[in-house]
């Protein structure tokens, strides 16, 4: 989330005439993340989130994302609910961008997740996967392992400027993942980007999951691998196996996972690290002038990948 598109008072006022949520009172940009323009919108009826979808998000995918949020909310997953306009539509246009209004969720994102919060995320992720099984619309994972090679090659000429030898290391790692990626694991709807800044808590109680704009169909256990990368490393990038144990145990209490999924987890955590490494590397080398947010350092995921490469078995992730 960031602010790439400015919304004038006049444009907002005209936009809100299509809704029954009252007149606009204030609009404040949310300068976090990198994908869309997000505003905290206050109307006479209270707070909402206004999102303008930037060019990196395919307009054709928006019905999948918005429909998924509505489906999950109906199945008791705490997530934003799209607000329908008077005509019944949830997607319209504002300032030349596709736009939508969603409900507001209370809580704050953790800066340094606690073990209990990691457990809460594991349980919430499993419930999301179970609820998503009834969502029949499908979207392929545009950032699956099949796409990492292409994205890496766009950044390869500048990779060694970020760290000497990075290009060769990534080239070998992607070869390894391509040769060993599993072909038959339980699949369904995944969030695919459930980082701490996409989860809200009130103290230790999880109050909401947000930012479903990478959601897609893929292996369910891959989503857990993403969360292990996002939640279980400390600020010094040491891996906290206690957090991992609590997260995976909480997930398994909600959704049973097969032995094949467990066996695949060390490889999938490597893949998840590469996915965020290659996208961060691309963003780092192709920064958007004028954005209110700086792209994230790809070196964080270089160090995480090196940890996963050293893992011998799932005990390293708290699974005996």
Q: What is the pLDDT of residue 1?
A: 44
Q: Are residues 156 and 81 in the same domain?
A: no
Domain boundary among 70, 103, 136: 103
Q: Are residues 222 and 140 in the same domain?
A: yes
Q: Are residues 279 and 308 in the same domain?
A: yes
Q: What is the pLDDT of residue 286?
A: 86
Any domain includes 108: no
List, in sequence order, every beta strand (DSSP E) within the chain: 24-29, 37-43, 46-52, 92-94, 97-103, 187-190, 199-202, 205-209, 216-219
Q: Are residues 151 and 282 in the same domain?
A: yes
Please give the residue that has the higher pLDDT: either 294 or 210.
210
Please give the residue that has the higher pLDDT: either 55 or 112.
112
- The token pair at 158 is 């500048």
Any domain includes 2: no
Instruction: Say if residue 149's pLDDT is above 90.
Output: yes
The percent of residues above 70 in pLDDT, for the chain, comes to 96
Any domain includes 3: no
Domain boundary among 103, 128, 143: 103
Domain boundary among 48, 69, 103: 103
Residues 22-43, mean pLDDT to the nearest whole number:
86
Q: Evaluate whether 266 touches 315 at the Cβ level (below 8 Å).
A: no
Q: Are residues 181 and 250 in the same domain?
A: yes
Residues 20, 1: Cα–Cα separation, whole Å: 25
CATH for 120: 3.90.1200.10
Residues 3, 7: Cα–Cα separation, whole Å: 10
Within 8 A by CB and 6+ apart from 55, the residues are: none
Phi-psi region of 240 (alpha: psi -120 to 50; beta: other; left: phi over 0): beta
Q: What is the pLDDT of residue 215?
A: 97
Q: What is the pLDDT of residue 175?
A: 97
Number of structural domains in the chain: 2
The percent of residues above 90 in pLDDT, for the chain, comes to 88
Any domain includes 293: yes
Q: What is the pLDDT of residue 56?
A: 73
Any domain includes 80: yes
Residues 83-88, mean pLDDT to the nearest whole number:
96
Q: Is 61 helix (H, G, I), strand (E, B) or coil?
A: helix
Residue 239's domain comprises 115-317
Q: Are residues 220 and 313 in the same domain?
A: yes
- Mean of pLDDT over the chain: 94
Q: What is the pLDDT of residue 295?
A: 78
Q: Are residues 127 and 186 in the same domain?
A: yes
CATH for 49: 3.30.200.20
Residues 111-130, mean pLDDT to the nearest whole number:
98
Pairing between β-strand 187-190 and β-strand 216-219 as defined by DSSP bridges: antiparallel
Q: Are residues 17 and 94 in the same domain?
A: yes
Any domain includes 151: yes
Instruction: Say if residue 41's pLDDT is above 90.
Output: yes
Q: What is the CA 48 to chain-centroid distance, rounded?
A: 20
Which residue reads 């969360």 in tokens?
227
Residues 7-20, mean pLDDT to the nearest whole number:
96
Instruction: Encode pLDDT of 268-300 as tens digits.
Output: 999 999 999 999 999 899 876 655 567 789 999
Q: Is 19 helix (H, G, I), strand (E, B) or coil?
A: coil
Any domain includes 109: no
Residues 215-222, mean pLDDT to the nearest whole number:
98
Among 176, 200, 177, 255, smallest CA distance to 223 is for: 255
Q: Are residues 208 and 72 in the same domain?
A: no
Q: Are residues 207 and 303 in the same domain?
A: yes
Q: Are residues 168 and 304 in the same domain?
A: yes
Residues 120, 105: Cα–Cα separation, whole Å: 17
Phi and psi (nearest 5°) for 291? Answer: -70, 150
Instruction: Say if residue 34's pLDDT is above 60.
Output: no
Q: Are residues 92 and 157 in the same domain?
A: no
Any domain includes 4: no
Q: What is the pLDDT of residue 288?
A: 65
């Amino acid at each position: 989330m960031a602010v790439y598109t400015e919304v004038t008072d006049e444009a907002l006022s005209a936009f809100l005439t299509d809704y029954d949520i009252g007149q606009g009172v204030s609009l404040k940009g949310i300068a976090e993340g990198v994908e869309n323009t997000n505003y905290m919108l206050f109307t006479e009826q209270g707070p909402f989130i206004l999102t303008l979808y930037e060019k990196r998000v395919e307009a054709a995918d928006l019905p999948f994302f918005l429909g998924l949020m509505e489906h999950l909310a109906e199945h008791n997953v705490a997530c934003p609910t799209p607000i329908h306009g008077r005509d019944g539509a949830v997607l319209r246009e504002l300032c030349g961008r596709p736009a939508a209004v969603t409900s507001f969720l209370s809580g704050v994102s953790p800066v340094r997740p606690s073990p209990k919060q990691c457990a809460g995320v594991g349980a919430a992720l499993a419930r999301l996967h179970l609820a998503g099984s009834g969502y029949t619309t499908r979207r392929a994972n545009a950032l699956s392992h099949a796409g990492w090679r292409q994205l890496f090659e766009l950044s390869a000429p500048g990779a060694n400027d970020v760290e000497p030898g990075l290009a060769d290391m990534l080239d070998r790692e992607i070869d390894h993942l391509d040769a060993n990626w599993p072909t038959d694991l339980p699949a369904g709807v995944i969030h695919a980007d459930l980082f701490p800044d996409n989860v809200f808590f009130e103290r230790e109680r999880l109050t909401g999951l947000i930012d479903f704009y990478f959601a897609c169909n893929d292996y369910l256990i891959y989503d857990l691998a993403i969360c292990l990368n996002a939640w279980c490393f400390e600020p010094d990038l040491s891996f906290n196996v206690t957090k991992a144990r609590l997260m995976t145990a909480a997930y398994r209490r909600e959704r049973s996972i097969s032995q094949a999924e467990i066996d695949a987890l060390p490889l999938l955590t490597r893949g998840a690290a590469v996915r965020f490494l290659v996208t961060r590397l691309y963003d780092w080398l192709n920064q958007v002038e004028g954005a209110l947010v700086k792209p994230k350092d790809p070196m964080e995921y270089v160090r995480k990948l090196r940890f996963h490469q050293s893992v011998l078995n799932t005990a390293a992730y708290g699974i005996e």
